[in-house]
Amino acid sequence: MDSQPPLARILDDWIDWLVHEKKASRHTVEAYERDLRDFLAFLAGHIGSEPDIDSLADLRTADFRAYLAHRRQQGLSATSLRRVLSSIRSFFKRQERNGLLHNPYLKTLRTPKAGTRLPRPLPAVDTQKLLEDKINPQEANWVRYRDLAVLTLLYGCGLRIGEALSLNYGDRPVSDSMTLIGKGNKERMVPVLPAVRDAIHLYMKECPFSLSDTDPLFVGKRGKRLTARAIQLKMQTLRRNLGLPETATPHALRHSFASHLLAGGSDLRSIQELLGHASLSSTQRYTDLDIEKLLKMYDQTHPKS
């Protein structure tokens, strides 16, 4: 239809809706936009032309399955495929409500089953090694202090990396607790250890940028908000230097926070609140992890095993 707006504008309108009406987190918006753009790029080769609203309406179940198979071949897990399908469904559903697009075949797709992969926390001794990183001569002191402040915040408060990097200077912890907005726009309060405050204070003391309350707390070398990729690269370097496994990621520090609290006697409800989990079932994975350890120990040590 000639009266329809171009697909690029429709895509921008959808992203704007996610941000301002849906109130999705920045991490979710970035992931959904990335998924949709990748889907449209795949379709250009799959159907032999740049997709538009009409061609999206003409897609069949096999076309959607072809894209999911393509992403599976790229190594995406079932959990990531679920998010990809959720991104596409969100876009199509929004356009259907706007009267721009109707495709009944998308609704026939089954959502890929998510695996029951357990979290992989780090042992306390490895976590300690990470947070005692020795000086890297190729790295400015303030950058090292910044990265260690982020990692200490992730482990000390159980934050998601997106939550830590979205903090502004005015949100910095100055007492023994802090309030933050997490996944699903949920507000929660977390305790702040002196070690966390000290790490952030040391970074701010060395930071070459003058920060106001509305500026990002953690900044890159150009003074812009630090990206998650920078911290992931830092963890890669630390893994290599310290001989840690590939599971030693920024998110593993959040898992370590929960697992170490549970091992220390904290109850599940308290850990659920600290992590900001919507349901207790998410937190219960850490008890499954403890059971898994017990079973391994049993197999290794029991004379009848």
Looking at residue 201, its pLDDT comes to 93
Position 113 confidence tier, pLDDT thresholds 50, 70, 90: low
Q: Identify the active-site residue in 27, 72, 239, 251.
A: 251
Position 293 confidence tier, pLDDT thresholds 50, 70, 90: very low
- 225 given a catalytic annotation: no
Give per-residue pLDDT as tens, 22-34. 888 888 999 999 9
- 285 given a catalytic annotation: no
Looking at residue 130, its pLDDT comes to 81
Q: Identify the active-site residue in 22, 89, 183, 239.
A: 183
Residue 89 has pLDDT above 60, yes or no: yes
What distance lies between CA 178 and its chain's CA centroid?
20
Looking at residue 165, its pLDDT comes to 93
- 160 given a catalytic annotation: yes
- The set of long-range contacts for 71-79, using a CB threshold of 8 Å and a minimum separation of 24, is 71/38, 77/115, 77/117, 78/112, 78/113, 78/114, 78/115, 79/114, 79/115, 79/117
Position 267 confidence tier, pLDDT thresholds 50, 70, 90: low
- 251 given a catalytic annotation: yes
Domains 7-108 and 124-299 fall in the same CATH topology: no
- 222 given a catalytic annotation: no
Q: Identify the active-site residue in 94, 129, 160, 234.
A: 160
Q: What is the pTM of this model?
A: 0.55
- The set of long-range contacts for 254-257, using a CB threshold of 8 Å and a minimum separation of 24, is 254/154, 254/155, 254/158, 254/159, 254/160, 255/119, 255/120, 255/121, 255/122, 255/286, 256/121, 256/122, 256/124, 256/127, 256/155, 257/154, 257/155, 257/156, 257/157, 257/158
Give per-residue pLDDT as tens, 140-171. 789 999 999 999 998 888 888 888 999 999 98
Task: Give me the architecture of the 7-108 domain, per CATH.
Answer: Orthogonal Bundle (1.10)
For 124-299, the fitting CATH number among 1.10.3720.10, 3.30.9.10, 1.10.443.10, 3.40.630.10 is: 1.10.443.10
Looking at residue 118, its pLDDT comes to 53
Q: Residue 119 is encoded by which pair of tokens?
A: 């979290």
Residue spans of the domains in the chain: they are: 7-108, 124-299
Q: Identify the active-site residue in 94, 254, 255, 260.
A: 254
Give per-residue pLDDT as tens, 221-253. 999 999 999 999 998 888 888 888 787 888 888
Phi and psi dihedrals of 304, rounded to 5?
A: -95, 0
Report in angstroms the alpha-carbon separations of 209 from 102, 166, 215.
50, 17, 10
Looking at residue 295, its pLDDT comes to 43
List Cβ neighbours of 84 (8 Å cut-off, separation of 6 or more). 35, 39, 68, 71, 76
Q: Are 25 and 33 in contact (CB under 8 A)?
A: no
Highest mean pLDDT among 75-79, 90-94, 269-273: 90-94
Q: Residue 131 is encoded by which pair of tokens?
A: 């947070």
Residue written as tokens 């920060």? 211
Give per-residue pLDDT as tens, 170-189. 989 888 888 888 777 777 88
- The whole-number average pLDDT for the span 261-278 is 64
List Cβ neighbours of 283 (8 Å cut-off, separation of 6 or more). 258, 268, 271, 272, 275, 277
- 277 given a catalytic annotation: yes
